[in-house]
Amino acid sequence: MLRRLFTVLAVTGVLAAPLSAQTYPTSWDPSIMERPDVKSALALLEQRFPQQVEEWIRIAEIPGKSKLEQARGAYVKKVFEEEGLQQISVDSIGNVTGVRKGTGGGPTIAIAAHIDIVFGPEASDGKVRRVGDTLFAPGVGDNTASVANMLATLRAMNATKFTSKGDIIFIGTVQEELGLKGMAYWLDHNTAPDLLIVPDGAYGVVSYGALGIYWTKYVFTSPGSHTLGSRGRPTPVRAVAEAINRLYALEFPALPDGAVMNIGQVHGGEIFNSVPQELYFTVDLRSPDPVLLDSLDEQITRITTEVAEKQQVGLRVEIDQKSRAGGTEKQLEGARAHPLVQTAIDINRALGISAGMPGAREAVATGATDANIGVVRKIPSIAIGGSRASGAHQLTEYALASTALPSTKLLYLLTATFADGVKTMPPARIVP
C-alpha cells in the first residue's frame, strides 16, 4: 500500500524535486487566528468535532452513487435551510446550492464538495465501521468527509456571527465521479465565482492544476457469423487485438508533465461458436498538457480508424468524458502565483497539515477534482484534502477521523482570509 501510494504520489508530481527557492504572494496573516470571531469559530469546531464525526457517518450511510445522489442532496439542502442560507436551489442535474450573503464589495467565494460516491448500496452493507480513529466505508474519504467539513464550516460561521464582504456560495455537487459533470453544469449555468475552493483530493497537498481526462470507448463492429463460416472473414476481435497492440506501442512522456493511457475494459462476444458483431475497449487518457492530450487523442482515433479499415470492420467512437487539461506546471505558473495557493500552503503549515511523505510537494500543478473545471476556465481554484484517507474508489476505503478537524479549520480559515478581499502579505519564503 505505502509503496503504491509512494508511486501514485511520485507519478502525480507530489513527490518530485522541490522547486528552487521561489517566493509566492500569500494572503495568510497568522494574526487572523486571534480575531475574536475566528478564535471562537476554531474553538467551536474543536468542541463540536464529535458531533461533526457523527454527521459524517450519518451522511456516509446515505446512498450516494453518482446520478443517484438525491437523498444526500436532500440532506445537504435541509442543513442549508436550517442554517439560513439564501437562494437555495437544486438544479436540474442535482447540484444543491445555498448562498451566505456578504455585506457587499468583496470577492464571491464558492465552496464545492461533491456529494456523490462511486459505489451504490448494492456494493456494501451501507454501514460505516468504526475502529478507534478509523472509519471504514466506501466513499467515507472521497468525498463524504469534505461534505461534513463544509457543513461544519457553515455552522461555525453562523454560530460566531462571521461576516464577509463577499458572498460565500456553498455547493453540494453531483456526478463528480462521472467526469466532474455537476461542477461543469454549475459553472455553465451560474456566474463564475472569484475564487473556487474544492474540499477533495489528497490530504496535505494543495492542488491548483487540472489533469485532463478523456474517457473514450472504441466499438468495432461486423455482421458476425457462425464459426463454421468464419474463416477469412472480418472479425472485430482481430481489430481490437491489433488496435490495442498499436496503442501500447505509442511513445509519449510520463506524468507529471506527460501523459498516461490505460485500457481499462475489453468487452464483447456472447458465445464460443460465433464471430461477435461488436467488441469494444475503453481508453482512459490523462495529461495536464492540453496539446499533448489532444495530439494523443487524435493519434488513437487515427490508429483505430486505420485498423478498422485494414480489418474491414466498422468503428464507432463513443466519448464518455472529455475533462480538459489545465496545463503543465510551467504553463500554470500564473495560477501558482495567485495568493489562494500559497495561502492554503501557509495555513496547512500553521495547522500542521502535511502529506506525511518525505519530499512530498505542498502544492501540485495537477488534480482530478471539481477544481479542474475552475482551473480550465481560469478561475483561481484549488483542491484541499478533506481527511487523510486511503483506498478511494475501493470498497476497502478508510479515513482517519481526527484528520477532518484540521481540514475543516483549513477550509474555514481560507474562507475567512479571503472573505473581505484578496490582499497579499509580504512574500513568504519557501525553504527548499
Phi/psi of residue 39, each to 5°? -60, -45
Q: How far, in Å, CA of 35 to CA of 164, rounded?
A: 14
CB of 403 to Zn ion, least distance (A): 16
Can you tell me which residue has the cell 442560507? 85
Q: Which whole-number Å values give the CA distances from 101 to 39, 163, 169, 376, 398, in the listed order?
A: 22, 9, 8, 27, 35
CB of 320 to Zn ion, least distance (A): 18
181-220 residues in contact with Zn ion (CB under 5 A) are 200
- Closest to Zn ion by CB, 202 or 219: 202
107-166 residues in contact with Zn ion (CB under 5 A) are 142-143
CB of 176 to Zn ion, least distance (A): 6
CB of 386 to Zn ion, least distance (A): 9
- Closest to Zn ion by CB, 288 or 385: 385
- Closest to Zn ion by CB, 27 or 403: 403
- Closest to Zn ion by CB, 167 or 370: 370
Which has the closest alpha carbon to 290: 361, 365, 392, 349? 365
DSSP assignment of 333-402, as one string? HHHHTSHHHHHHHHHHHHHT----STTB-SEES---STHHHHHHTT--EEEE-SS-EE-TTSTT-EEEGG
Can you tell me which residue has the cell 459553472? 187
- Closest to Zn ion by CB, 140 or 401: 140
CB of 149 to Zn ion, least distance (A): 13
Q: How far, in Å, CA of 195 to CA of 304, rounded?
A: 41
Can you tell me which residue has the cell 436532500? 74
Q: How far, in Å, CA of 238 to CA of 228, rounded?
A: 17
- Closest to Zn ion by CB, 143 or 222: 143
CB of 10 to Zn ion, least distance (A): 21
Can you tell me which residue has the cell 495529461? 287
CB of 412 to Zn ion, least distance (A): 20
Residue 406 DSSP label: H
DSSP assignment of 224-283, as one string? -EEGGG-TT---HHHHHHHHHHHHHT---PPTTTS-EEEEEEEEE---TTEE-SEEEEEE
DSSP three-state, residue 98: strand
CB 300 within 8 A of CB 216: yes
CB of 210 to Zn ion, least distance (A): 14
- Closest to Zn ion by CB, 116 or 329: 116
CB of 142 to Zn ion, least distance (A): 4
Q: Please work out the total of residues on this chain that contact Zn ion, with binding judged by CB under 5 A.
A: 3
CB 55 within 8 A of CB 83: no
- Closest to Zn ion by CB, 167 or 176: 176
- Closest to Zn ion by CB, 142 or 346: 142
- Closest to Zn ion by CB, 93 or 219: 93
CB of 209 to Zn ion, least distance (A): 16
Is residue 33 exposed (0-12), middle (13-18) or buried (19+ Cβ within 10 Å)?
A: middle
Q: How far, in Å, CA of 395 to CA of 135, rounded?
A: 12
Query: Around 310, how many Cα atoms within 13 Å sit in the side-chain half-sphere?
Result: 13
CB of 319 to Zn ion, least distance (A): 22
CB 275 within 8 A of CB 199: no
Strands 278-287, 212-221: pairing kind = antiparallel
Q: How far, in Å, CA of 178 to CA of 350, rounded?
A: 35
- Closest to Zn ion by CB, 311 or 381: 381
Under the binding rule (CB under 5 A), the answer on residue 370 touching Zn ion is no
Q: Which residues bind Zn ion (CB under 5 A)?
A: 142-143, 200
